[in-house]
Amino acid sequence: MCGRFTLTLEAEDVKKELDLGPMPADWVAHYNVAPSQPVAVVAGAGERKVEWMRWGLIPSWAKDTSIGDLLINARSETLTEKPAFRNAYSRRRCLILANGFYEWQKVEQGPKPTRIYYFQLTGGRAFAFAGLWETWKSPEGQDLRSCTIITCAANAIVAHIHDRMPVILDRESCWKWLEDRRIPDLQPLLAPYPAEKMITFPVSRLVNDPAHDSKDLVAPVKLPGQASLLQQ
Protein backbone atom coordinates (compact mmCIF):
# COMPACT_ATOMS: atom_id res chain seq x y z
CA MET A 1 0.00 0.00 0.00
CA CYS A 2 0.97 3.66 0.11
CA GLY A 3 0.11 5.46 3.35
CA ARG A 4 2.47 8.46 3.27
CA PHE A 5 4.47 10.27 0.61
CA THR A 6 6.40 13.44 -0.12
CA LEU A 7 6.32 16.32 -2.56
CA THR A 8 9.32 18.39 -1.50
CA LEU A 9 10.43 19.98 -4.78
CA GLU A 10 9.82 23.53 -5.95
CA ALA A 11 6.76 24.00 -8.16
CA GLU A 12 8.83 25.01 -11.18
CA ASP A 13 11.05 21.93 -10.88
CA VAL A 14 8.00 19.62 -10.80
CA LYS A 15 6.42 21.49 -13.70
CA LYS A 16 9.55 21.17 -15.82
CA GLU A 17 10.16 17.51 -15.02
CA LEU A 18 6.62 16.37 -15.91
CA ASP A 19 5.77 19.04 -18.51
CA LEU A 20 2.83 20.36 -16.49
CA GLY A 21 0.49 23.29 -17.02
CA PRO A 22 -0.62 25.94 -14.48
CA MET A 23 0.56 25.30 -10.90
CA PRO A 24 -1.24 26.27 -7.66
CA ALA A 25 -0.28 29.67 -6.27
CA ASP A 26 -0.23 28.25 -2.73
CA TRP A 27 2.36 25.55 -3.46
CA VAL A 28 4.22 24.37 -0.33
CA ALA A 29 6.74 21.55 0.07
CA HIS A 30 5.47 18.59 2.14
CA TYR A 31 7.60 15.83 3.66
CA ASN A 32 4.77 13.83 5.22
CA VAL A 33 1.59 13.85 3.14
CA ALA A 34 -1.07 11.87 5.01
CA PRO A 35 -4.58 10.63 4.15
CA SER A 36 -7.36 13.27 4.13
CA GLN A 37 -4.82 16.01 3.37
CA PRO A 38 -4.77 18.00 0.09
CA VAL A 39 -2.59 16.50 -2.65
CA ALA A 40 -1.47 17.92 -6.00
CA VAL A 41 -3.43 16.32 -8.84
CA VAL A 42 -3.68 16.57 -12.63
CA ALA A 43 -7.08 15.42 -13.86
CA GLY A 44 -6.86 16.39 -17.54
CA ALA A 45 -4.26 15.86 -20.27
CA GLY A 46 -5.28 19.00 -22.17
CA GLU A 47 -4.42 21.98 -20.01
CA ARG A 48 -2.45 19.77 -17.59
CA LYS A 49 -3.54 22.02 -14.74
CA VAL A 50 -2.44 21.06 -11.21
CA GLU A 51 -5.11 21.37 -8.52
CA TRP A 52 -5.63 20.25 -4.93
CA MET A 53 -7.79 17.26 -4.07
CA ARG A 54 -8.41 15.41 -0.83
CA TRP A 55 -6.49 12.14 -0.51
CA GLY A 56 -8.99 9.32 0.13
CA LEU A 57 -11.61 8.66 -2.54
CA ILE A 58 -15.19 9.60 -1.65
CA PRO A 59 -17.58 8.06 -4.22
CA SER A 60 -20.46 10.20 -5.42
CA TRP A 61 -22.93 7.82 -3.75
CA ALA A 62 -21.28 7.97 -0.30
CA LYS A 63 -23.40 9.23 2.62
CA ASP A 64 -20.48 11.12 4.18
CA THR A 65 -16.73 11.64 3.85
CA SER A 66 -15.66 8.93 6.31
CA ILE A 67 -15.38 6.29 3.58
CA GLY A 68 -12.43 8.24 2.17
CA ASP A 69 -10.24 7.05 5.05
CA LEU A 70 -10.71 3.49 3.78
CA LEU A 71 -10.11 4.30 0.11
CA ILE A 72 -6.66 5.92 0.06
CA ASN A 73 -5.43 3.07 -2.16
CA ALA A 74 -6.99 1.00 -4.94
CA ARG A 75 -5.58 -2.36 -6.00
CA SER A 76 -4.79 -2.41 -9.73
CA GLU A 77 -5.98 -6.01 -10.06
CA THR A 78 -9.57 -5.28 -8.99
CA LEU A 79 -10.32 -1.81 -10.39
CA THR A 80 -13.00 -3.12 -12.74
CA GLU A 81 -14.68 -5.11 -9.96
CA LYS A 82 -15.03 -2.64 -7.08
CA PRO A 83 -18.05 -0.29 -7.21
CA ALA A 84 -16.03 2.51 -5.64
CA PHE A 85 -13.44 2.46 -8.45
CA ARG A 86 -15.07 0.97 -11.55
CA ASN A 87 -16.53 4.15 -13.09
CA ALA A 88 -13.57 6.31 -12.14
CA TYR A 89 -11.21 3.84 -13.79
CA SER A 90 -13.09 4.29 -17.06
CA ARG A 91 -13.67 8.05 -16.88
CA ARG A 92 -11.80 9.83 -14.11
CA ARG A 93 -8.13 8.90 -14.05
CA CYS A 94 -5.59 11.31 -12.63
CA LEU A 95 -1.95 11.91 -11.78
CA ILE A 96 -1.01 12.46 -8.12
CA LEU A 97 2.30 14.30 -7.93
CA ALA A 98 5.12 13.14 -5.65
CA ASN A 99 8.87 12.73 -5.37
CA GLY A 100 9.02 9.91 -2.82
CA PHE A 101 6.99 7.60 -0.60
CA TYR A 102 7.33 5.69 2.66
CA GLU A 103 6.75 2.03 3.47
CA TRP A 104 6.71 0.21 6.81
CA GLN A 105 8.61 -3.04 7.36
CA LYS A 106 7.49 -5.43 10.09
CA VAL A 107 10.32 -6.45 12.40
CA GLU A 108 10.20 -9.86 14.07
CA GLN A 109 12.17 -8.91 17.17
CA GLY A 110 13.03 -5.82 19.16
CA PRO A 111 11.13 -3.13 21.07
CA LYS A 112 9.92 -1.36 17.90
CA PRO A 113 7.56 -3.42 15.70
CA THR A 114 8.30 -1.63 12.41
CA ARG A 115 11.01 0.19 10.48
CA ILE A 116 10.24 2.91 7.97
CA TYR A 117 11.90 3.19 4.56
CA TYR A 118 11.82 6.04 2.09
CA PHE A 119 11.73 5.35 -1.66
CA GLN A 120 12.71 7.71 -4.48
CA LEU A 121 13.53 7.61 -8.14
CA THR A 122 17.25 7.84 -8.81
CA GLY A 123 18.16 11.51 -8.66
CA GLY A 124 15.11 12.41 -6.58
CA ARG A 125 13.09 13.36 -9.64
CA ALA A 126 9.39 14.19 -9.55
CA PHE A 127 6.94 11.54 -10.71
CA ALA A 128 3.23 10.78 -10.54
CA PHE A 129 1.21 8.06 -8.90
CA ALA A 130 -1.50 6.61 -11.11
CA GLY A 131 -4.75 7.69 -9.47
CA LEU A 132 -8.53 7.94 -9.74
CA TRP A 133 -10.69 10.88 -8.72
CA GLU A 134 -14.32 11.60 -7.88
CA THR A 135 -16.59 14.52 -7.00
CA TRP A 136 -18.83 14.20 -3.94
CA LYS A 137 -21.57 16.69 -3.14
CA SER A 138 -22.10 17.54 0.52
CA PRO A 139 -25.59 17.91 2.07
CA GLU A 140 -24.98 21.68 1.84
CA GLY A 141 -24.48 21.39 -1.91
CA GLN A 142 -20.70 21.90 -1.95
CA ASP A 143 -18.51 19.84 -4.28
CA LEU A 144 -15.52 17.98 -2.82
CA ARG A 145 -12.94 16.40 -5.12
CA SER A 146 -11.01 13.44 -3.80
CA CYS A 147 -8.60 10.83 -5.13
CA THR A 148 -6.97 7.47 -4.50
CA ILE A 149 -3.54 6.03 -5.33
CA ILE A 150 -3.45 2.81 -7.35
CA THR A 151 -1.14 0.06 -6.08
CA CYS A 152 0.42 -2.99 -7.71
CA ALA A 153 2.70 -5.87 -6.74
CA ALA A 154 6.06 -4.68 -5.40
CA ASN A 155 9.19 -4.60 -7.53
CA ALA A 156 12.46 -6.13 -6.30
CA ILE A 157 13.58 -3.11 -4.26
CA VAL A 158 10.23 -2.58 -2.49
CA ALA A 159 9.52 -6.29 -1.97
CA HIS A 160 12.18 -6.47 0.76
CA ILE A 161 9.99 -4.09 2.78
CA HIS A 162 6.41 -4.60 1.59
CA ASP A 163 4.53 -6.76 -0.93
CA ARG A 164 2.70 -3.80 -2.53
CA MET A 165 3.81 -0.46 -3.98
CA PRO A 166 2.14 2.53 -5.65
CA VAL A 167 1.98 2.57 -9.44
CA ILE A 168 4.63 5.11 -10.49
CA LEU A 169 4.42 7.00 -13.77
CA ASP A 170 7.32 9.10 -15.06
CA ARG A 171 7.46 11.75 -17.79
CA GLU A 172 7.39 9.08 -20.50
CA SER A 173 4.32 7.24 -19.21
CA CYS A 174 2.17 9.63 -17.19
CA TRP A 175 0.28 11.24 -20.05
CA LYS A 176 -0.65 7.87 -21.53
CA TRP A 177 -2.60 7.26 -18.30
CA LEU A 178 -4.80 10.31 -18.98
CA GLU A 179 -5.41 9.59 -22.64
CA ASP A 180 -8.80 8.32 -23.80
CA ARG A 181 -7.92 4.62 -23.90
CA ARG A 182 -9.74 1.30 -23.60
CA ILE A 183 -9.36 -0.51 -20.28
CA PRO A 184 -7.22 -3.32 -21.78
CA ASP A 185 -4.82 -0.68 -23.14
CA LEU A 186 -4.41 0.86 -19.67
CA GLN A 187 -3.41 -2.34 -17.91
CA PRO A 188 0.24 -2.35 -19.09
CA LEU A 189 0.73 1.01 -17.33
CA LEU A 190 -0.26 -0.52 -13.97
CA ALA A 191 3.03 -2.37 -13.57
CA PRO A 192 5.79 -2.12 -10.95
CA TYR A 193 8.29 0.63 -11.71
CA PRO A 194 11.77 -0.72 -12.62
CA ALA A 195 13.67 -1.40 -9.40
CA GLU A 196 17.01 -0.40 -10.93
CA LYS A 197 15.70 3.16 -11.33
CA MET A 198 14.92 3.56 -7.61
CA ILE A 199 16.77 3.94 -4.31
CA THR A 200 15.68 3.39 -0.71
CA PHE A 201 16.97 3.97 2.80
CA PRO A 202 15.63 3.80 6.37
CA VAL A 203 14.33 7.00 7.96
CA SER A 204 13.12 8.31 11.30
CA ARG A 205 10.02 6.95 13.03
CA LEU A 206 8.84 10.56 13.30
CA VAL A 207 7.06 9.87 10.00
CA ASN A 208 4.42 8.05 12.08
CA ASP A 209 3.11 11.41 13.31
CA PRO A 210 1.58 13.48 10.48
CA ALA A 211 2.19 16.60 12.57
CA HIS A 212 5.89 16.22 11.72
CA ASP A 213 6.57 17.74 8.30
CA SER A 214 10.21 18.72 7.81
CA LYS A 215 13.27 17.66 5.80
CA ASP A 216 14.50 15.71 8.84
CA LEU A 217 11.98 13.01 7.92
CA VAL A 218 13.85 12.10 4.72
CA ALA A 219 17.33 12.08 6.29
CA PRO A 220 18.80 8.54 6.16
CA VAL A 221 19.31 6.76 9.47
CA LYS A 222 21.73 3.87 9.88
CA LEU A 223 20.40 0.60 11.23
CA PRO A 224 22.47 -1.71 13.44
CA GLY A 225 24.74 -3.84 11.29
CA GLN A 226 23.93 -1.89 8.11
CA ALA A 227 27.01 -1.26 5.97
CA SER A 228 25.47 1.47 3.80
CA LEU A 229 22.65 3.96 4.12
CA LEU A 230 21.49 3.63 0.52
CA GLN A 231 20.13 0.47 -1.09
CA GLN A 232 19.89 0.16 -4.83
**Active-site pick, 2, 147, 152, 174:** 2
In whole angstroms, what is the distance from residue 171 CA to residue 59 CA?
29
Q: Which of 17, 94, 103, 134 is catalytic?
A: 103
Is 2 a known active-site residue?
yes
Task: Reduce the secondary structure of the chain to three states and give it as a string.
Answer: CCCEEEECCCHHHHHHHHCCCCCCCCCCCEEEECCCCEEEEECCCCCCCEEEEEECCCCCCCCCHHHHHHCCEEEHHHCCCCCCCHHHHHHCEEEEEECEEEEEEECCCCCCCEEEEEEEECCCCCEEEEEEEEEEECCCCCEEEEEEEEEEECCHHHHCCCCEEECEECCCCHHHHHCCCCHHHHHHHCCCCCHHHEEEEEECHHHHCCCCCCHHHHCCCCCCCCCCCCEC
Examine the residue annotation and report whether 103 is marked as an active-site residue of this protein.
Answer: yes
Active site (catalytic) residues: 2, 103
